[in-house]
Amino acid sequence: AGVVRPTDVVLDMYAGIGYYTLPVVKHGGVAFVHACEWNEFAVDALRYNVSQNGVAERVAVHEGDCRVIVPRLGVEFDRVIL
């Protein structure tokens, strides 16, 4: 988390249940995370974890293929987690 800045917008391309999304937003204090995941069970768990950790206002969960989703977002990212 020491590599990120409070103004960073982060893309987590394969978010799973939030292995990296949650620490980077909670402990790294980044401005926003776009978390992509296509496994419906992992997406459910990710949404639950984001909510339970009180960071829903700083995380957007995108369900589907990140190869399709990311270009449609039209966002410039400061950091990308693969």
Give residue-wise pLDDT tens across range 12-41.
999 999 999 999 999 999 999 999 999 999
pLDDT (tens digit per residue) in 60-80: 999 999 999 999 999 999 999
DSSP state of 12: E
- The region that residue 18 occupies, defined by phi over 0 for left and psi between -120 and 50 for alpha, beta otherwise, is left
Q: Please report the pLDDT score of residue 3 as a whole number.
A: 83
Q: Percent helix, strand, coil in the chain (nearest 5)?
A: 35, 20, 40
Are the C-beta atoms of 42 and 16 separated by less than 8 Å? yes
Provide CB contacts within 8 A for 57, sequence distance 6+: none
